[in-house]
């Protein structure tokens, strides 16, 4: 290891984490329709597969967001003038560099906090950032952006960022309370920059989740391997097929795994012995698509107000700059 300095913390101990996971999996797989929480895609293999997805020709999201961010990072930093950058769900952490460079350029840069569910990707990102920005205080927090925000502590001169349209994985009903909890960790004048995938032509949306090379199918099935490794389950990933389609009523892409045959699956750590009919499905992800209007409608009462809506020339993707208002959010 080099001399780069960063600090890593975890929201929970291993036992606690395992118990919580078993409970969540049990609840999801015994409910109808069956579901699995999409955060469990991201073990090392799944995080790597997602990285591969970001480079697919059909997956316009990442490259559109990165190009857009490159064009607006300076404007965002000039408006907010933050000394601390917080990134939720940081993954491999390339976009954050554009904001840190803009902060550095203005002489504002002091601290950065990365929060991600995958400890090894987080350690890599924290290490790289600490090496690139030697004077930067880097904190890595292994945690879940829904449940573990309290680890961030109080705001003040803080810009929080949530890229990649990961907010789309939340059910729209859960977005206002989530935004209010983020607002609780910001001081008036602080801001939250959110990447949002936009409603568009259905063929384009569906192609992004049904790539020709089959990487998304592998990514989807990987959640079953995660169940096998972490809960001792005996899923046969090849006995399920990848399904992804746009639901226009909810304005979301839904991913499912469909059982190819009648089969039995045991998940010892979750005390489950399941029977799947041929054709029976497990929902593994929703990925909500927004318009300016549908996103703006989620904001009232959250303590966050829309300052800026940045979008690319084709209106594929938006970066939304939300400002912390003086009003108190609805989170409690």
Interacting positions 45-64 with ligand AVJ (CB under 6 A): 53, 61
What is the smallest separation between the CB atom of 169 and ligand AVJ, expressed in angstroms?
5
β-strands 6-10, 34-35: how paired? Answer: unpaired
x/- string (CB under 6 A) for ligand AVJ, residues 59-98? Answer: --x-------------------------------------
Q: Residue 230 belongs to what H/E stretch?
A: helix 215-231
What is the smallest separation between the CB atom of 52 and ligand AVJ, expressed in angstroms?
10
Whichever of 133 and 209 has its CB closer to ligand AVJ, that residue is 209
Exactly one of 64, 287, 302, 331 binds ligand AVJ (CB under 6 A); which one?
Answer: 287
CB 96 within 8 A of CB 85: yes
Exactly one of 82, 140, 155, 168 binds ligand AVJ (CB under 6 A); which one?
Answer: 168
Exactly one of 125, 169, 222, 331 binds ligand AVJ (CB under 6 A); which one?
Answer: 169
Interacting positions 209-248 with ligand AVJ (CB under 6 A): 209, 216, 219
CA distance 100 to 192: 15
Residue 328 per-residue DSSP state = P
CB 290 within 8 A of CB 270: no
Exactly one of 35, 118, 125, 166 binds ligand AVJ (CB under 6 A); which one?
Answer: 166
Q: Please, is 63 exposed, middle or buried when counting C-beta atoms within 10 Å of its C-beta (0-12, 13-18, 19+)?
A: middle
Longest dimension (CA), the chain: 62
When computed from its CA atoms, the radius of gyration of the chain, rounded to whole angstroms, is: 20
Interface residue list for ligand AVJ (CB under 6 A): 53, 61, 164-166, 168-169, 209, 216, 219, 285, 287
């Amino acid at each position: 290891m080099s001399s780069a300095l960063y600090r890593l913390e975890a929201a929970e101990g291993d036992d606690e984490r395992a118990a919580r996971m078993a409970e969540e999996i049990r609840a999801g797989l015994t409910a109808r329709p069956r579901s699995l929480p999409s955060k469990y895609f991201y073990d090392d293999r799944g995080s790597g597969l997602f990285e591969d997805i970001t480079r697919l020709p059909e997956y316009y999201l990442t490259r559109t967001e990165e190009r857009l961010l490159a064009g607006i990072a300076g404007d965002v930093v000039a408006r907010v003038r933050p000394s601390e950058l917080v990134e939720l769900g940081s993954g491999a952490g390339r976009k954050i560099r554009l904001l840190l460079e803009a902060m550095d350029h203005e002489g504002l840069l002091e601290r950065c906090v990365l929060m991600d569910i995958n400890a090894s990707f987080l350690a890599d990102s924290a290490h790289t950032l600490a090496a690139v920005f030697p004077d930067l205080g880097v904190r890595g927090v292994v945690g879940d952006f829904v449940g573990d925000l309290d680890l961030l502590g109080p705001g003040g001169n803080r810009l929080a960022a949530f890229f990649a349209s990961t907010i789309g994985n939340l059910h729209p009903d859960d977005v206002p309370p989530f935004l209010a909890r983020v607002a609780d960790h910001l001081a008036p004048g602080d801001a939250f920059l959110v990447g949002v995938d936009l409603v568009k032509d259905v063929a384009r949306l569906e192609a992004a989740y049904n790539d020709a090379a089959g990487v998304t199918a592998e990514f989807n099935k990987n959640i079953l391997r995660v169940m096998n490794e972490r809960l001792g389950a005996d899923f046969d990933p090849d006995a399920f097929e990848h399904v992804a389609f746009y639901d226009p009523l909810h304005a979301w892409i839904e991913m499912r795994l469909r059982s190819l045959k009648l089969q039995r699956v045991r998940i010892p750590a979750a005390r489950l012995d399941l029977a799947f009919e041929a054709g029976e499905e497990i929902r593994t992800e929703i990925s909500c698509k927004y318009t300016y209007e549908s996103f703006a409608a989620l904001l009232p009462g959250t303590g966050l107000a829309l300052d800026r809506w940045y979008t690319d020339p084709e209106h594929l993707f938006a970066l939304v700059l939300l400002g912390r208002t003086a009003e108190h959010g609805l989170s409690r």
